[in-house]
Amino acid sequence: MLNKYPMWKNLMVMLIIAVGFFYAIPNLFGEDYAVQVVATRGAEVTVSTQTQVSELLADKGIAVKRSELEKGQLLVRVNNAEDQLQAREAISDTLGDKFTVALNLAPATPEWLESVGGSPMKLGLDLRGGVHFLMEVDMGEAIRKMEEAKIADFRTQLREEKIRYAGVHSTVKGIEIKFRDADTLNQAEAFLKSRGNDMLFTEQTGDGNFVLLATMSETYLRQVKEEALNQNITTIRNRVNELGVAEPVVQRQGAERIIVELPGVQDTARAKEILGATASIEFHMVDDKADVAAAVAGRVPVGSELYQRREGGPVVLKKEVMLTGDHITGAQPSFDQYSRPQVSIQLDAKGGSIFSDVTKDNIHKPMATLFIEYKDSGERNADGSVKMKKIEEVISVATIQARLGRNFVITGLGHAESQNLALLLRAGALIAPVSIVEERTIGPSLGAENINNGLQAMIWGMAVVLLFMMVYYRAFGVIANLALSANLIMVVGVMSMIPGAVLTLPGIAGMVLTVGMAVDGNVLIYERIREELRAGRSVQQAIHEGYGNAFSTIADANITTFITALILFAVGTGAVKGFAVTLMIGILTSMFTAIVGTRAIVNALWGGKRVKKLSI
């Protein structure tokens, strides 16, 4: 029958619109101020932790709206920003450094809606604000690492040139290279100066001492600091990308600080842990001939060092590093045959060659994986910078069963730790430790007034369009208005369903544009129906021809616009990409509502009936 949809098509239209409406609902509930607690370094967040935190906040007089323990993380919701800051400080002081405590803005979506995947649309920094971290690079550690590299270079270069030296050590003044006589010192000085001009060499002789002091030139010192800052920015950007944060801001501030702004982040504790972590690993042979009890008492063998295992207990390792994490090219969390977490490691060619040569000579001997991490000690250096605390733990000791190559696994970690370590190793190591010196939730960067103006413009523009359509096209105008409203709600619903979609202020412009395009589609259809009626067609024929003949024009216009938006998404960044995403989604939903949605309503009201006159 003309202008009648079959039942399945009507049900499909209603189902699609209902799904869009359903997933748009979470945006009505707003957000709660929250504090998130995540365990690190082998600790666990348990029910007892939740109870301890609840009792602590009750003692502090901080009202808790809701406390949730899920997937090993604790989320405590409070009433306002002031309570949030007080709760963060109290929890952090009580739980210690084995837990990461971070600020969060948690969706206030009801649990029943969350259980079926309902979540609010993510907003960009310009609309919602987000989490702001100010990070400080430990330049002293960067310089120390460079000095260590120079010490290794000096030793290698002097050995290759067959210049005998008595020792190479780092001191407060710089790097001291000791010799047995003045002639050897002069020979070494001439040779080292010819190798490069980034170090300054000064002779310190007298009282039988023949010392060559090497210090970094001011130019080289600035270069080291600049490289440390730039390398850390690159690594942090990689870590942000691994976190999957959309529209992040990572930029330098001054000579030693980095600003990181993350919009729409739900897991701020994990972001804080990953961004500030300076974790690295080293592989050492276990000194199986050492007396552990004697080492604990202070009698550590020469060439070895005493460490603590993460699960408890001392172990003596040889100081010589077999391999560092610098040669790691890939790292993925996985499980062994007993479902225990592990990290699968891939090395570069040089690292694989080194590891192969070392392990072939140590088969059936124990090897340890040393986990090295820098944490904020809570103290300050004399220059006001954050004093970092170095934490070294043996996370696994395993016997080398065969010669190892470029691929092997690390065991002895928890599930969350294996995930984090794999992420850090993939993203790269920070060249110098960083500390988070400031953390806060930030308001919209464009200001509340500008946002309100943008929303007001959208609302009033929509109102004018709705009024015009209703007056000019009467009953058909009301149908178009229903389709326009459904279109906006469906855009919000689809944006809420897509994990990486972020709405920015340019995205709102994209939504307004899709409203105009949807109206344009309805106008084309309705004017074509009027033409058919004026040409003497029956009502049913006019409706059928109007929708059928206008479809190709509407499709052509929307397809070309969609392709343009797709190109913008591919080559654009930031706000341009946000505009493109919203526009593409809006084109798809507007075509559906303007053509299929209105046709379903028109068919239901007038299809297959004897109608002599249309209200159009």
Share of the chain above pLDDT 90, in %: 12
* Residue 267 pLDDT grade (very low, low, confident, very high; cuts 50, 70, 90): low
Tell me which residue has tokens 């299929």: 596
The structure tokens listed for 31 are: 């957000």
Please check whether residue 233 lies inside any domain of the structure. Answer: no
CATH code for position 146: 3.30.1370
- Tell me, yes or no, whether 289 and 211 share the same domain: no
Cα separation, 45 vs 312, in Å, equals: 19
Task: Identify whether the C-beta of residue 539 lies closer than 8 Å to the C-beta of residue 606.
Answer: yes
Cα separation, 168 vs 213, in Å, equals: 10
Task: Identify whether the C-beta of residue 174 lies closer than 8 Å to the C-beta of residue 215.
Answer: yes
Residues found in the chain? 616
- Tell me, yes or no, whether 382 and 299 share the same domain: yes
- Tell me, yes or no, whether 306 and 172 share the same domain: no
Residue 74 DSSP class: E
Q: How many domains does the chain have?
A: 4
Please check whether residue 122 lies inside any domain of the structure. Answer: no
The sheet carrying 199-206 orders its strands as 167-170, 175-179, 209-216, 199-206
* Residue 316 pLDDT grade (very low, low, confident, very high; cuts 50, 70, 90): very high
Please check whether residue 594 lies inside any domain of the structure. Answer: yes
Task: Decide if pLDDT at 25 tops 60.
Answer: yes
Q: What is the pLDDT of residue 500?
A: 63
Q: What is the pLDDT of residue 57?
A: 92
Q: What is the pLDDT of residue 125?
A: 67
Task: Decide if pLDDT at 36 tops 90.
Answer: no
Task: Decide if pLDDT at 244 tops 60.
Answer: no
**Contacts of 353 by beta carbon, 8 Å cutoff, 6+ apart:** none
CB atoms closer than 10 angstroms to residue 197: 10
Which pLDDT tens digit goes with each residue over 94-115? 887 778 787 777 888 888 888 8
CATH code for position 104: 3.30.70.260
Task: Decide if pLDDT at 474 tops 60.
Answer: yes
- Tell me, yes or no, whether 178 and 54 share the same domain: no
Q: What is the pLDDT of residue 18?
A: 92
As beta bridge partners, residue 379 has 387
- Tell me, yes or no, whether 216 and 359 share the same domain: no
355: left (phi over 0), alpha (psi -120 to 50) or beta: alpha
Cα separation, 426 vs 431, in Å, equals: 14
Q: What is the pLDDT of residue 140?
A: 84
CATH code for position 452: 1.20.1640.10
Which pLDDT tens digit goes with each residue over 339-367? 888 888 888 787 888 888 888 888 888 88
Please check whether residue 95 lies inside any domain of the structure. Answer: yes
Share of the chain above pLDDT 70, in %: 86
Task: Decide if pLDDT at 178 tops 80.
Answer: yes
Tell me which residue has tokens 């800052």: 229
Q: What is the pLDDT of residue 11?
A: 92
- Tell me, yes or no, whether 18 and 34 share the same domain: no
Cα separation, 149 vs 156, in Å, equals: 11
What is the rounded average pLDDT of the residues 143-151? 82
Please check whether residue 172 lies inside any domain of the structure. Answer: yes
Task: Provide DSSP, 148-184.
Answer: HHHHHHHHHHHHHTT---SEEEE-SSSEEEEESSHHH
Q: What is the pLDDT of residue 384?
A: 65
Task: Decide if pLDDT at 246 tops 70.
Answer: no
- Tell me, yes or no, whether 494 and 598 share the same domain: yes
* Residue 312 pLDDT grade (very low, low, confident, very high; cuts 50, 70, 90): confident
Please tell me the number of Cα atoms within 13 Å of 167 on its side-chain side: 7
Residue 555 or 267, more confident: 555
Q: What is the pLDDT of residue 264?
A: 59
Task: Identify whether the C-beta of residue 435 lies closer than 8 Å to the C-beta of residue 135.
Answer: yes
- Tell me, yes or no, whether 204 and 328 share the same domain: no
Containing structural domain, residue 104: 30-108
* Residue 277 pLDDT grade (very low, low, confident, very high; cuts 50, 70, 90): low
The average confidence (pLDDT) of the chain is 82
- Tell me, yes or no, whether 311 and 407 share the same domain: yes
Domain boundary, last residue among 198, 220, 242: 220
* Residue 24 pLDDT grade (very low, low, confident, very high; cuts 50, 70, 90): very high
* Residue 478 pLDDT grade (very low, low, confident, very high; cuts 50, 70, 90): very high
What is the rounded average pLDDT of the residues 17-44? 84
